[in-house]
Homo-oligomer: A and B are copies of this chain.
């Protein structure tokens, strides 16, 4: 049961559907396993909880987490 965890900015539900479906297709093909063996977990990080170069994303631009 391969597990894909994707950590990034917030997504609406339609984009979550596209993300889960697209990532699962790739992993299924590369591992040579049926799609129902693949789990996807989406983590949405608020921009004040992510930093690049020591600066919070919230302090740079709100959409770049």
Contact = CB atoms under 8 A, between A and B. Distances in A.
A7, A15, A53: residue with the most chain B Cβ atoms closer than 10 Å: A53
Interface of A: 1-9, 11, 13, 15-31, 34-45, 48-56, 58-59
Instruction: Give the oligomeric copy count.
Output: 6
A21 B56 CA distance: 8
Contact of A51 (B9, B40, B55): B40
A1 B54 contact: no
B29 A22 contact: yes
Contacts of A54: 20-21, 23-25, 28, 35, 38, 40
A9 to B, nearest CB: 7
